[in-house]
Every structure is written in C-alpha cells, then in structure tokens.
C-alpha cells in the first residue's frame, strides 16, 4: 500500500511559526513519526510540500494510478482552492484531509473547507497526532475498498 502525504503552504515552517497554534514539532519530525507508524503496517509513504497551488494540483493529479490514497493538509488553500478540490475529485482516491488546529475554533474565514467536499473524511484539532489518525483512517479505508473490490470480482467470476 502506498500513500501520498501532501502538505500545503507554510507547513514547511512548522516548529517555528505560531507555536501557540501549531505546536513545536517541525514538518520533518511529523513525517518521521508517520514513517515509523507506516513501516509497522507495511505502508509506503511519499511526502510532498509546496507553497504553490498549481504544484499541489499537479501532485494530486500525479497520484492517479501511483498511490492507493492521499493524506492532504491544504493549509490556507483549504479555504480558497477550487482547483485543489477539483483535482481531488478528478483522481477520486480515498483522501483524508488533516488540519493541525481545529479550524472550527479559528477565524470565521478558516471555518469553511472547500477541499473537504472531495475528501473521504476530515481530521482537525488533534495537533500533529492528527496525521497519525489520518494514516490509521486511510489505511482502514483503503483496506475496505480493496476487500469490496475483491468480493465483487469473486461474485462476477
């Protein structure tokens, strides 16, 4: 099983920026924790971070046929990017949207997620642990999808 982890703008500054909101962990530390958990479960992770909307759209599109699912934190693009939302819908892969902070307790403009409509589920407000929850959730979803596909193939045979 292979999962893409796509990180949006300013997440490269985790551990430095607004620690009162995002905590002291760096993006690299979060990714290392995810790698350790994934390795225990036979999951391969591919990491990508960009501050540019078009690069994130390109990466989502590149996932088609290459990965089994996506964990994405679109960051500020969560609230503005129809392009990322449309790319997620187009590839139609199991997707978990993760937010470190609870976007529903933040400024009004952050309380609406445009990208959530193209995600299987959303995890928000659990800090960096949300990525672990996202990994567990997405692994389960992918396994369920594979099991349903196998059952359908057996019925057709």
Measured distance CA(52)–CA(24) in Å, rounded:
24
* pLDDT at position 45 over 90: yes
Topology of domain 2-156 in CATH is Rossmann fold (3.40.50)
pLDDT of 125 reads: 94
Phi, psi of 126 (to 5 degrees): -105, 15
Contacting residues for 71 by C-beta, under 8 A, at least 6 apart: 3, 4, 5, 6, 95, 96, 98, 131, 134, 135, 138
β-pair partners for 98: 123
Neighbours of 41 (CB within 10 A): 10
CA 24 to mean position of chain CA atoms: 20
Residue 52: the pLDDT is 98
Return mean pLDDT, the chain: 93
Provide the annotated active-site residues.
22, 99
The predicted-structure confidence for 65-119, as pLDDT tens digits, reads as follows 999 999 999 999 999 999 999 999 999 999 999 999 888 776 686 668 999 999 9
């Amino acid at each position: 099983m292979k999962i893409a982890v796509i990180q949006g703008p300013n997440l490269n500054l985790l551990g430095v920026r607004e620690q009162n909101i995002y905590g002291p962990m760096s993006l690299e530390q979060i990714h290392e924790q995810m790698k350790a958990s994934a390795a225990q479960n036979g999951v391969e992770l591919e990491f990508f971070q960009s501050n540019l909307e078009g690069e994130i759209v390109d990466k989502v599109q590149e996932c088609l046929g290459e990965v089994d699912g996506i964990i994405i934190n679109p960051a500020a693009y969560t609230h503005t990017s129809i392009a990322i939302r449309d790319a997620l819908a187009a590839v139609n892969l199991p997707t978990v949207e993760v937010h470190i902070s609870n976007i529903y307790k933040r400024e009004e403009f952050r309380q609406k997620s445009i990208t959530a409509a193209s995600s299987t589920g959303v995890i928000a407000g659990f800090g960096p642990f949300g990525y672990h929850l996202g990994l567990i959730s997405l692994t389960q979803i992918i396994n369920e999808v594979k099991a349903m596909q196998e059952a359908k193939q057996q019925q057709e045979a």
